[in-house]
Amino acid sequence: METLVYIALFAPFASSLFAALFGMSPKQTFVGIVASLLLFASFCASAMLAFHVWTTGAGIHVTMMDWISAGDLHIPFGFVVDQVSVTMMTVVTLVSTVVHVYSIGYMDHDKSFNRFFSYLSAFVFSMMILVMSDNFAGLFIGWEGVGVCSWLLIGFWYHKEDVSREENPSISPSWAANEAFIMNRIADLGMLIGLFILYWNVGSLQYDVVFAALPDLSGSVLNAAAIALFIGAMGKSAQFPLHTWLTDAMEGPTPVSALIHAATMVTAGVFLVIRANPLFSMTPEVSYFIAALGTFVAFFAASMALVNRDLKRIIAFSTLSQLGYMFAAAGLGAYWIALFHLAAHAFFKALLFLGAGNVMHAMHDELDIFKMGGLKKAMKWTYIYMGVASLALAGIPPFAGFFSKDAIIETAFNEGTLFLWVILVVTAGMTAFYSFRQVFLTFEGDERYKAFGIHPHEMYKYVLIAMSPLAILAVIAGFAQGTFEHFVTKLLPDYHMSEHTHHLSMMLGLIVLAFAVGGIVLAYRKYYKGLKRDKKLENSFTYKLLANQYYIPNLYEAIITKPYAMLSEMMWKDVDMKIVDATVDGIAKFLYKSGDASRKMQTGNLSNYLNWMAVGSVFLLVIAVISAMFV
Amino acid sequence: MIGLTHYLVISALIFSIGLMGVLRRRNLLMLFFATEVMLNAVNIAFAAISHYYNDLTGQMFAFFIIAIAASEVAVGLGILIVLYKKHGSLDLDDLANMKG
Amino acid sequence: MENILSILVFFPAIAGLLGFVVDKESARAYGITVAAIEFLLSVWLWFSFDTANAGMQFVELIPIIPDFGISYYLGVDGISLFIILMATLMTLIGMMSMSITENIKNMIITLLFLEMTMVGVFVSLDAIIFYLFWELSLVPMLYIIGAWGGPLRVYAAVKFFLYTFTGSLIMLVGMLFVAYVYHNLTGVWSFAITDWYALVLPVNYQLWLFAAFFVGFAIKVPMFPFHTWLPYAHGQAPTIGSVILAAVLLKMGTYGFVRFSLPMFPDASVMAIMPIAALSIVMIIYTAMVAYAQKDMKQVIAYSSVSHMGIIMLGIFAMNAEGISGSVFQMLSHGIVSGALFMLVGVIYDRRHTKLMSEFGGLASVMPKYAVIFGIMLMASVGLPLTIGFVGEFLVLLGFYHVSPVLTALAGTSIIIGAIYMLTLFKKSFFGPVTNEANKTLKDLSSKETWSLVPLVLIVVWLGVYPKPVLAPIDNSVKAMLAFMDAKAITQEAKDMIKVSKTTLNRGEVK
């Protein structure tokens, strides 16, 4: 079994190194194929491990070697395969395998084809470390590793120029990459502090040791640790106020958006909360905050998606919104439901993004849905895929999203947090609306793309086939709910609805469904026939507010980026040069000047010298007398 | 009765005269004389104190000083003659080639 | 080889003297050979080093002026061993990558002489010998900056020399006073550091002496607000000068704190924690901001160097094994990473004769290999896990958290602002379209440059993934030092603050 663990972990690494060997040479298709095969091997190993954990009910724990030990701190490279990590491993490797195969087709014409696979596999490797590590420091390796890979991949087309924010809200790929990295770093500091708190109170960073020691810790320590760790989770999962990087990250190639910024990396924050559930279940206030923030983000992100015109940004906002749902579930203590939604979301959201990639491919990288329409003729399969994914996202039975999202909303009701429940229900309606607004504007109605001289074509057949596992899972994954619950609750705390909720569950489900269907109907009525621009609406304040992401990126620029640059400039030119350095030079100048001034004593006239000598002797005598008197 | 104090006062007076000479005079030869006066002032003090303590070391030192002063005069006057031959004057204000 | 340390110290100097008769054309090859032999000797030293022994090893003791207790006294422990290795490695790599052709022979001889002084500082166990090497190291660096530097080279060189010299004179006074106190207490003169360790000084003496040593070391580190000589020195120095300066010479200051200040004045050190932490944090944040404002690539790295030295200072005053071991490790990491970054800037300077970021843009398309290595070093510099930069930074922050959570959070902002200026530098120079005509035809790394940079990349990754071979001996010696400090401390606060590790340690014989 240990071998399988290492295969699952290191196959992506091998893939990355292999692709890196060809990193600077022109496109070679076999690089993509080998990478995909290695990823598939990793998937197979993960699946076998999942089966093993399923049958035996016991996890596997391996320790590879020591990493850091200093003082009383010992951090090994240790990996644990249990119900939670194996779920994540399977999801991650499955989606990555699909995305790798997809990328062979999608990145077909890119001259940096090989480099792309190297980065992509490196990302999977980091993600595997993140989910498999048996200690917080190992998690942090993966945490930062995925951050760097995300930086590399967002900035993959680094040669593009910076443009104004009006022209492209994310300015340029390299700008977006840096933004993502730096924002994540802000959160990572919080996470590091969390690790320090745990280390100095527990004496170890191993999950099992830490969790075993939690009951002995004081409430304030627990709260501090939970808050600090959650700040880390907020950055990686792009929760408010660190959310702006995620939509800007759409500058990366679409497979990257599918894998990293939808299915896997952004869910790392949720994973952390689930993984550290013993800690978070002991800090109800922090957990409630998590749930409230999650709910807020769900609504907040969905509102921005309502009016956006950019195909990928709409999906990115929906990712944000769904992450909010996951945090709401985790914060309310329904960890297994959060994990279930995480897995289901990974499937349909990756599918949605890959579908969007097909559209982009067909539309020559055009992303404005107002310039599309009527693509269903040219792209039947893509339409079906995106339709399925959108149905799942909107939470229509029997698709996967229905089961998982409904469970979350029901949890909110069950916990008595009716306010959260109302917002989540409304958000479900908004989700349905914007998903189908996008689908209809892209695939139905008048063929607006013709005005731009574009001849869309369907994606390669093997790419479409490669996408099929995701489509199937997006349809059927929901039915595995019971099995899944049974499987992961061996490790995670089980969560049951109360008797009362149970009675109402049918009605609650219907309310959610009503909102979802309502959203779809609204989208159908407005956009199915074609695009009718409503100038008055588009010029309204609310519309502009939403379209500009509540002006938050502008706000950040005005109150953080620009003042920081100005302050830095001031620190350098005014403080460093004019105060600190000038003081040092001032001392030196004083010495020079005093030397210059006293040089005049050197007249060359012996008689003057003798006078000075006499003065000096008298001076010394006086000093001698005075010191003799006092000492 | 002439005591130690009188000798010391005389010595200090002569020393001051020498010191004033050193400070005020511009002619090198005069400076020379002034230093000699100072040295001899010290000699008087030495001799007097030596007598006072009944210790001959002081008088011995006085002799040393006389010997050194003599040799100093020998060397110094030689230098003065050379200087005079070179510059045609012994006025200190004319001799300022060490000006910084 | 019982005299391995003497050989290590004097081999480069003797080889440097012989260098005068070497032919001008073969001077470079000669220098590289000598540096390589020296490096191999230091590797040999590492292999024959007993890692389980926390005390001084390979000790050599020859009295020079027995009446005053001055002796030729050398030895290494886990703390100094790796700094020596790094010094010899960086000299070798620096020479390999050197692009200077003018007066090459003088440069080689100067570098070899500099190598002697660097190794000498880290192996000396006698204060006078230490001081001798400490001051001697200024001379070759003065020459390197003054002779091969940029337009402002004389100003920069003189500033560097006078500034650090002033500091070390004050340190010398401190040393003499310690010896005087030692004489008063024991009746014999001794300048041996290990003898001084045994001296238990009253707290007010400790404070004054700490201050005297502090001035000497802090200017060398350089700590805020004594740092302004560094940007000039880096800005004007040739690449090789910057590499050695950043990699090794700055470490002398922090090494001094670990070797002298902590074990000799434990109570004063504990009292100084807060002031020094405050200075370090100002240094970390403030210089990082200044780095962000720079227009010149090399200045960015110079200021980033100061910022990272702040992290090292913070770790030293964490007063626990995690922090101090991390700090010593960070010295190595900073030496290798900033050395490599200066070499990388040198690469582009050789091609374009400018270091202004505005002159570049899109270099990643023109020079992919260069961009990859720069990227790796950048990530190491911002402390990415599995690179060398993370281990030290993590341990330092972890260690200092025990002292003050709030200050750690402030110091931790270095991981954010560090990323800001480094990524901005990378974006401005490497990303975007190639706009400047002059950049379109730039050649990627030559084999000479590649071969000098690749070993550093390998070390960065190796020590990031498996730091144990280096960290374990360091940690061992640090633990022994802390246990010793704890036993020696007089005040209760110091005893409370100094945290002795729970793990048992193997205490070697000190002399």
pLDDT above 90 for C255 = yes
Helix, coil or strand: residue B91: strand
Taking the C-alpha atoms of residue B58 and residue B49, their distance in angstroms, rounded to an integer, is 7
For residue C65, the surrounding DSSP H or E stretch is strand C57-65
Q: What is the mean pLDDT of residues A386-409?
A: 89
pLDDT band at residue A193 under the 50/70/90 scheme: very high
Q: Is C321 in contact with A155 (Cβ distance < 8 A)?
A: no
How many of the other CB atoms lie within 10 Å of CB of A269? 28
Partner-chain residue, chosen from C227, C321, C382, that has the shortest CB–CB distance to A71: C321
Q: Does A73 touch chain C (CB under 8 A)?
A: yes
Residue C51, pLDDT score: 85
Helix, coil or strand: residue C299: helix
- What type of residue is A506? M
Residue C373, pLDDT score: 93
Partner-chain residue, chosen from B19, B22, B97, that has the shortest CB–CB distance to A604: B97
Structure tokens that stand for C247 in this block: 């990699």
Partner-chain residue, chosen from A158, A188, A581, that has the shortest CB–CB distance to C431: A158
Q: Is C431 in contact with A148 (Cβ distance < 8 A)?
A: no
Interface of A with C in 568-587 (CB under 8 A): 568-569, 571-573, 575-576, 580-581, 583-584
Q: Does A614 touch chain B (CB under 8 A)?
A: yes
Q: Cβ distance C191 to C177 under 8 Å?
A: no
Q: Cβ distance A607 to B23 under 8 Å?
A: yes
Q: Is C397 in contact with A196 (Cβ distance < 8 A)?
A: yes
Taking the C-alpha atoms of residue A450 and residue A452, their distance in angstroms, rounded to an integer, is 5
Q: Which of A461, A571, A156, A100 is nearest to C283 (CA)?
A: A571
Find the farthest-apart pair of alpha carbons in chain C and give their distance in angstroms, rounded. Answer: 74
pLDDT above 60 for C340 = yes
pLDDT digits (tens, 9 = 90+) for A33-80: 999 999 999 999 999 999 999 998 888 899 988 898 888 889 999 999
Complete domains list, chain B, with CATH: 4-90 (1.10.287.3510)
For residue A545, the surrounding DSSP H or E stretch is helix A541-547
Kindly give, in sequence order, each residue whose CB lies less than 8 Å from that of residue C364, ignoring residues fewer than 6 positions away: A158, A159, C371, C430, C431
Best mutation target among A602, A609, A610, A615 (most B Cβ atoms within 10 Å) is: A610
Residue C24, pLDDT score: 86
Helices (H), A155-283: 173-202, 207-213, 219-236, 244-248, 254-258, 268-275, 277-281
DSSP state of A61: E
Residues paired with B91 in a beta bridge: B27
Q: Is A614 in contact with B19 (Cβ distance < 8 A)?
A: yes
What is the percent of chain A with per-residue pLDDT over 70, rounded to a whole number?
Answer: 100
Q: Is A602 in contact with B22 (Cβ distance < 8 A)?
A: no
Residue C503, pLDDT score: 57
pLDDT digits (tens, 9 = 90+) for C144-154: 999 998 888 99
Which subunits count as partners of chain A given 3+ CB pairs below 8 Å? B, C
Helices (H), A29-112: 29-56, 83-106
Cα first-last separation, chain C: 19
Contacts of A140 in chain C (CB under 8 A): 385
Partner-chain residue, chosen from B92, B97, B98, that has the shortest CB–CB distance to A607: B92
What is the rounded radius of gyration, in angstroms, for the C-alpha atoms of chain A? 30
Q: Is B93 in contact with A603 (Cβ distance < 8 A)?
A: no
Residue C377, pLDDT score: 94
How many of the other CB atoms lie within 10 Å of CB of B81? 11
Kindly give, in sequence order, each residue whose CB lies less than 8 Å from that of residue B24, ignoring residues fewer than 6 positions away: none
Residues paired with C24 in a beta bridge: none
Which subunits count as partners of chain B given 3+ CB pairs below 8 Å? A
Helices (H), C98-202: 104-123, 127-136, 138-148, 153-186, 193-197
Q: Is B92 in contact with A601 (Cβ distance < 8 A)?
A: no
Q: Which of C324, C274, C251 is nearest to C485 (CA)?
A: C324
Q: State how far the alpha carbon of C126 is from the alpha carbons of C75, C121, C214, in Å.
A: 10, 10, 18
Best mean pLDDT range from A248-252, A365-369, A454-458, C40-44? C40-44
Q: Give the nearest chain B residue to A595 (CA atoms).
A: B100
Q: What is the mean pLDDT of residues A184-196?
A: 92
pLDDT above 80 for B1 = no
Q: Cβ distance C221 to C309 under 8 Å?
A: yes
Residue C508, pLDDT score: 40
Kindly give, in sequence order, each residue whose CB lies less than 8 Å from that of residue C74, ignoring residues fewer than 6 positions away: C5, C6, C9, C58, C59, C60, C61, C123, C124, C125, C129
Q: State how far the alpha carbon of C254 is from the alpha carbons of A367, C287, C310, C332, C449, in Å.
A: 55, 18, 10, 11, 30
Q: Cβ distance C335 to C251 under 8 Å?
A: yes
Residues paired with A133 in a beta bridge: A79
Taking the C-alpha atoms of residue C202 and residue B50, their distance in angstroms, rounded to an integer, is 49
pTM higher than 0.80 for the full model? yes
**Touching status, chains A and B (3+ beta-carbon pairs under 8 Å):** yes
Partner-chain residue, chosen from C286, C472, C503, that has the shortest CB–CB distance to A72: C503
Q: Is A196 in contact with C401 (Cβ distance < 8 A)?
A: yes
Helix, coil or strand: residue A135: strand
Q: Give the nearest chain C residue to A70 (CA atoms).
A: C322
Q: Cβ distance C294 to C341 under 8 Å?
A: no
Best mutation target among A568, A579, A592 (most C Cβ atoms within 10 Å) is: A568
Best mutation target among A602, A606, A611 (most B Cβ atoms within 10 Å) is: A606
Q: Is C432 in contact with A161 (Cβ distance < 8 A)?
A: yes
pLDDT digits (tens, 9 = 90+) for B40-93: 999 999 999 999 999 899 899 999 999 998 998 899 999 999 988 988 888 877
**Interface size between A and C, measured as CB pairs under 8 A:** 163
Residue C54, pLDDT score: 84
Identify the residue whose tokens are 């750690």: C408
Residue C511, pLDDT score: 33
pLDDT above 90 for A106 = no
Kindly give, in sequence order, each residue whose CB lies less than 8 Å from that of residue B68, ignoring residues fewer than 6 positions away: none
What is the rounded radius of gyration, in angstroms, for the C-alpha atoms of chain B? 17
Kindly give, in sequence order, each residue whose CB lies less than 8 Å from that of residue C90, ignoring residues fewer than 6 positions away: C243, C244, C247, C248, C335, C336, C339
Sign of the dihedral defined by the CA atoms of residues C254, C258, C260, C264, in that order: positive
Residue C502, pLDDT score: 67
At residue A76, what are phi and psi to the nearest 5 degrees? -95, 165
Contacts of A607 in chain B (CB under 8 A): 23, 25-26, 31, 92-93
Residues paired with A74 in a beta bridge: A69
pLDDT above 60 for C504 = no
What is the rounded radius of gyration, in angstroms, for the C-alpha atoms of chain C? 22
Per the prediction, chain A carries an average pLDDT of 89
Sign of the dihedral defined by the CA atoms of residues A342, A141, C399, A231, in that order: negative
Partner-chain residue, chosen from C226, C379, C419, that has the shortest CB–CB distance to A182: C419
Q: Give the nearest chain C residue to A151 (CA atoms).
A: C423
Give the minimum alpha-carbon distance from B33 to chain A in angstroms, rounded to a whole number: 14
Q: Is C408 in contact with A73 (Cβ distance < 8 A)?
A: no
Residue C12, pLDDT score: 93
Residues paired with A63 in a beta bridge: A78
What is the percent of chain C with per-residue pLDDT over 90, rounded to a whole number?
Answer: 68
pLDDT digits (tens, 9 = 90+) for C470-496: 999 999 999 999 988 988 888 888 888
DSSP string covering A466-485 = HHHHHHHHHHHGGGGHHHHH
Q: State how far the alpha carbon of A365 is from the alpha carbons of A7, A101, A280, A358, C5, in Å.
A: 37, 20, 43, 10, 65
Kindly give, in sequence order, each residue whose CB lies less than 8 Å from that of residue A164, ignoring residues fewer than 6 positions away: A171
Residues paired with A65 in a beta bridge: A77
Residue C1, pLDDT score: 66
Residue C441, pLDDT score: 85
Structure tokens that stand for A404 in this block: 């998982």
A114 dihedral zone (left: phi>0; alpha: psi -120 to 50; beta): alpha
Q: Cβ distance A349 to A315 under 8 Å?
A: yes
Sign of the dihedral defined by the CA atoms of residues C101, C102, C108, C110, in that order: negative
Best mutation target among A13, A73, A186 (most C Cβ atoms within 10 Å) is: A73
CB hemisphere CA count around A302 (13 angstroms): 28
**Touching status, chains C and B (3+ beta-carbon pairs under 8 Å):** no
pLDDT band at residue B100 under the 50/70/90 scheme: low
pLDDT digits (tens, 9 = 90+) for A495-518: 888 888 888 888 888 898 999 999
Residue A375, pLDDT score: 83
Enumerate long-range contacts of C62-68, CB under 8 Å, 24 or more apart.
C67/C189, C68/C179, C68/C189, C68/C191
- What type of residue is C125? L
Q: Does A624 touch chain B (CB under 8 A)?
A: no
DSSP string covering B11-56 = HHHHHHHHHHHHHH--BHHHHHHHHHHHHHHHHHHHHHHHHHHT-T
Partner-chain residue, chosen from B22, B23, B92, that has the shortest CB–CB distance to A605: B92
Q: Which of C136, C108, C113, C109 is nearest to C124 (CA)?
A: C136
